[in-house]
């Protein structure tokens, strides 16, 4: 299925924001809408921020507070001047007629805005996240309509975002959905445990291949070779030396910082005498 139009890249911040504003919606509102901010590239649109806009929707009319939207955009622009309005989002599964109207509002703000739907009510059992661009259709001159064509959606994040996301991912496993921030050595332990898990999975696969249960895949075999060869072959003596010098450095630094701390503590006590 080939898709026209730019690829939409979304940051997790945006989705979390949308979910949060859905949870805080007014009584009686079935969905929330808001503006999407981001940057436009030649082939992709990167959505990096968003804010919700109050709106009223009833059977036959819809009212969006555009003043509010403009104000918020100005405020956001002060912080990050590179972000522009690139479209709008709505929670909910379908695209309604009201969406067309709202899309028209936004066409005045941005050229060719994209429309993002996030299914927060989980109507189909999953949270569908889709993006659309509008296209004219119909017979020119007579009945002209608007069609929303879907776009590919990708999720991207900065490195630090990914680390934050890792931590957040772990909260979903706890029963109270909470997680404290762990401290130094236990983090290394955690990372080591994760690698160990991955290694056991790989080992299980290898066992299967060896015992003939699964046919060997050459590309996987090549990756395994890479993996094993990544551990550099250094003579044991050289490695001992390197390891020891590193350990010595670290121990010395620890000793010095402890000394400094003791020193300033002493200083305090003396001053307060």
Partner 1 sequence: MKGDAPKAEKCITKFFPPFSGVDQHRLMSSRKESTSTSVAAMASTSGTLDSPVKQIQIEGLVVLKIIKHYQEEGQGSEVVQGVLLGLVVDDRLEITNCFPFPQHTEDDADFDEVQYQMEMMRSLRHVNIDHLHVGWYQSTYYGSFVSRALLDSQFSYQHAIEESVVLIYDPIKTAQGSLSLKAYRLTPKLMEICKEKDFTPEGLKKASIGFENMFEEVPIVIKNSHLISVLMWELEDKSTAADKHELLNLSSSNHLEKSLQLLMDRVDDLNQEIVKYNTYSRNLSKQQQQKHQYIQRRQQENAQRQSRGEPPLPEEDITKLFKPPQAPPRMDTLLIAGQINNYCQNVKEFTSQNLGKLFMAEALQGHN
Which 190-229 residues touch partner 1, going by CB under 8 A? 191-192, 194-195, 198
Q: To which residue do tokens 């975002």 refer?
A: 161
Give first-to-last CA distance, the chain, whole Å. 79
Smallest distance from partner 1 to CB 137, Å:
30
Mutual angle of helices 159-171 and 12-23, in 10-degree steps:
40
The residues, ordered by sequence, that sit 6+ positions from 208 with a Cβ below 8 Å of its Cβ are: 214
Please, are residues 118 and 87 in contact by the beta-carbon 8 Å criterion?
no
Task: Output 137 or 265, the one with its CB closest to partner 1.
Answer: 265
Q: Rounded to 5 degrees, what are φ and ψ at 135? A: -140, 145
DSSP string, 23-57: HTPPTT----EEEEEEEE-SSEEEEEEEEEE-EEE
Instruction: Find residue 47's DSSP bridge partners.
Output: 10, 38
Tell which positions 159-188 bind partner 1, by CB under 8 A. Answer: 159-165, 167-169, 171-172, 176-185, 187-188
The 120-159 contact track toward partner 1, x by CB under 8 A, reads: x-x---xx-x-------------------------x-xxx
Nearer to partner 1, 139 or 271 (CB): 271
Q: Which residue lies nearer to partner 1 by CB, 140 or 180?
A: 180
CB of 54 to partner 1, least distance (A): 5
Among 12, 93, 150, 202, binds partner 1 (CB under 8 A): 12
239 binds partner 1 (CB under 8 A): yes
Which of 136, 143, 226, 272 is in the footprint of partner 1 by CB under 8 A? Answer: 272
* Largest interatomic CA distance in the chain: 93
Where does residue 225 fall: left (phi above 0), alpha (psi -120 to 50 degrees), or beta otherwise?
alpha
Stretch that binds partner 1, among 100-108, 132-140, 143-151, 249-257 (CB under 8 A): 249-257
Using CB under 8 A as the binding rule, the residues of this chain from 51 to 80 that contact partner 1 are 51-54, 65, 68, 71-72, 75, 78-80
Nearer to partner 1, 122 or 210 (CB): 122
């Amino acid at each position: 299925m080939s898709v026209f139009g730019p690829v939409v890249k979304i940051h997790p911040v945006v989705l979390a924001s949308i979910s949060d504003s859905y949870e805080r919606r007014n009584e009686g509102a079935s969905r929330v809408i808001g503006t999407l901010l981001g940057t436009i590239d030649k082939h992709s649109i990167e959505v990096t921020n968003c804010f919700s806009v109050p709106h009223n929707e009833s059977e036959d009319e819809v009212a969006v507070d555009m003043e509010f939207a403009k104000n918020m955009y100005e405020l956001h622009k002060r912080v990050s001047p590179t972000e522009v309005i690139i479209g709008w989002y709505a929670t909910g599964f379908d695209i309604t007629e009201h969406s067309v109207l709202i899309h028209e509002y936004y066409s005045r703000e941005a050229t060719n805005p994209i429309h993002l739907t996030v299914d927060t009510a989980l109507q189909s059992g999953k949270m569908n996240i889709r993006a659309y661009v509008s296209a004219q259709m119909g017979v020119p001159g007579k009945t002209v309509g608007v069609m929303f064509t879907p776009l590919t959606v990708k999720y991207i994040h900065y490195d630090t975002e990914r680390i934050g996301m890792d931590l957040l991912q772990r909260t979903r496993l706890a029963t109270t959905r909470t997680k404290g921030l762990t401290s130094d050595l236990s983090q290394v332990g955690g990372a080591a445990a994760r690698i160990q898990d991955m290694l056991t999975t790989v080992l299980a696969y290898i066992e299967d291949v060896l015992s003939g249960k699964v046919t060997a895949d050459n590309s996987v075999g090549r990756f395994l070779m890479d993996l094993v060869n990544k551990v550099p072959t250094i003579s044991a003596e050289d490695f001992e030396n390197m390891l020891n010098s590193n350990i010595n450095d670290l121990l010395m630094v620890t000793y010095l910082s402890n000394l400094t701390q003791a020193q300033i503590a002493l200083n305090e006590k003396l001053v307060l005498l």
